[in-house]
């Protein structure tokens, strides 16, 4: 990978609990060891206080704005942004910046959930459930948009409106199963990749996550996805929703992503 700008975000982003704000540091430190780059830390942990998406977004807007400025500076300097983030909602800040610099990039969104609800159809009012639809421009978060193409990978816990978006072809889903990497590579078709990993896409128990959704990806599946993406230009990587180590360590988790860092 071209020289990287490493960032760890530890501020609020629609948290159900406080665990990811602490655990993001663990991932950031593992990234630093792997890449030989010291991270810039953005945000300050605050006690979680789950509320409506509007209130959660306003509480996080300041530190998310700081993160967006950091990603912008990294990319302006010609570096590849690699980030340890707390929650998927952090992508509301990172991905519009990436899209501005690299409008040709495809977002590869590995997640047990679609995160493509919008305020008009969310059944939970959860900010994280709208984390990808905001950068896609399906609603206005106030943090920007511009992502022109995204691919869901491994999503299996979908709300009705999300399932309809997929059925209608508004966004593509690559389901877990045999030849996952080959199927992903075929969809990417040579385009640059921004790689987003929500750790709950993995089989429950591999690492600690807020959601435990059965029939998840193995580390071998994750490695296959990383290999498929690494056949293309990698314009950024972010890892979120890690709440602690489980059957594998943070270093072992990142080892599955090694193709992204060596491409």
Beta-sheet pairing, 80-84 with 40-42: unpaired
Whether pLDDT at 80 is above 80: yes
CB 156 within 8 Å of CB 213: yes
- Per DSSP, 11 falls in state S
pTM, full prediction? 0.98
pLDDT band with cut points at 50, 70 and 90 for residue 56: very high
Distance CA 108, CA 127 (A): 20
pLDDT 10s digits, 160-193: 999 999 999 999 999 999 999 999 999 999 999 9
Tokens of 223: 């490695």
What pLDDT does 1 receive? 67
pLDDT 10s digits, 205-236: 999 999 999 999 999 999 999 999 999 999 99
């Amino acid at each position: 990978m071209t020289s990287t700008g490493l960032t760890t975000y530890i501020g609020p982003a629609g948290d159900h609990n406080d665990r990811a704000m602490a655990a993001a540091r663990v991932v950031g430190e593992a990234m630093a060891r792997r890449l030989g780059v010291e991270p810039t830390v953005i945000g300050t942990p605050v006690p979680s206080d789950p509320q409506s998406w509007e209130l959660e977004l306003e509480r996080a807007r300041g530190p998310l704005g700081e993160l967006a400025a950091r990603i912008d500076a990294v990319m302006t300097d010609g570096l590849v942004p690699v980030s340890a983030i707390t929650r998927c909602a952090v992508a509301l800040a990172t991905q519009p910046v990436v899209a501005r610099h690299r409008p040709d990039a495809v977002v590869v969104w590995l997640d047990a959930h679609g995160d493509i609800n919008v305020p008009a159809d969310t059944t939970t009012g959860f900010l994280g459930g709208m984390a990808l639809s905001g950068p896609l421009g399906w609603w206005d978060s106030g943090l920007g948009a511009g992502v022109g193409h995204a691919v869901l990978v491994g999503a299996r816990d979908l709300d009705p409106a999300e399932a309809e978006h997929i059925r209608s072809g508004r966004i593509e889903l690559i389901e877990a199963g045999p030849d996952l990497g080959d199927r992903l590579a075929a969809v990417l078709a040579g385009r640059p990749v921004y790689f987003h990993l929500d750790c709950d896409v993995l089989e429950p128990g591999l690492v600690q996550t807020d959601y435990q959704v059965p029939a998840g990806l193995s580390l071998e599946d994750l490695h296959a996805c990383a290999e498929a993406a690494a056949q293309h230009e990698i314009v950024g990587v972010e890892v979120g929703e890690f709440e602690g180590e489980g059957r594998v360590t943070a270093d072992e988790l990142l080892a599955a992503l090694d193709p992204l860092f060596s491409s």
